[in-house]
Amino acid sequence: MSSPATPENTIDFDNFYERVFLPEHRHPLNIALHVFGTLAGLAWLVATPLMGAPLLALLFPVVHALPGLIGHRMVERNSAVGDVRVTRKDHSPLRFIAANHRMTWELFTRGTLARPRS
């Protein structure tokens, strides 16, 4: 039996990234906060076992997401999806985490972001 059609399982990741994620991330300060959160989250995952506190790695989602949530609350507001995006039900939170990492990767490797196709 197939699962019900939801936005999450009817759109591939590339289309999600280009048509959902990037249009909601246009302001340079918001993008910078997302990149900071992504890098801080990765550093957190590396640092917590080195500090002798591996259970603190469980705080990764907070360290990773908080700067981006601040960016949406203070800089790039979106009344359609709200400022507290962790409550979104249209796509999996894992897609947003992966998209943050892709955006960071693109900025560091290409110096720019791919923009949605017209």
Q: Which domain holds residue 68?
A: 12-110
Phi-psi region of 82 (alpha: psi -120 to 50; beta: other; left: phi over 0): left
In a domain, 90, yes or no: yes
For position 78, what pLDDT does the model report? 72
| 64/34 Cα distance (integer angstroms) | 8
Categorize the per-residue pLDDT at 87 as very low, low, confident or very high, splitting at 50, 70 and 90.
Answer: low
In a domain, 118, yes or no: no
In a domain, 100, yes or no: yes
* pLDDT tens for each residue of 31-65: 999 999 999 999 999 999 999 998 999 999 899 98
- CB atoms near residue 78 (< 10 Å): 11
Q: What is the chain's Cα-based Rg?
A: 15
How many domains are contained in the chain?
1
Mean pLDDT to the nearest integer, 14-30: 91
Would you give the DSSP letter of residue 17?
Answer: I
In a domain, 7, yes or no: no
The SS3 call for residue 63 is helix
For position 72, what pLDDT does the model report? 87
Categorize the per-residue pLDDT at 106 as very low, low, confident or very high, splitting at 50, 70 and 90.
Answer: very high
pLDDT at 26 exceeding the cut of 50 = yes
In a domain, 116, yes or no: no
At residue 100, what are phi and psi to the nearest 5 degrees? Answer: -60, -40
Model pTM? 0.80
Sequence-distant (6+) residues with CB within 8 A of 31 are 25, 71, 103, 107, 113
For position 1, what pLDDT does the model report? 41
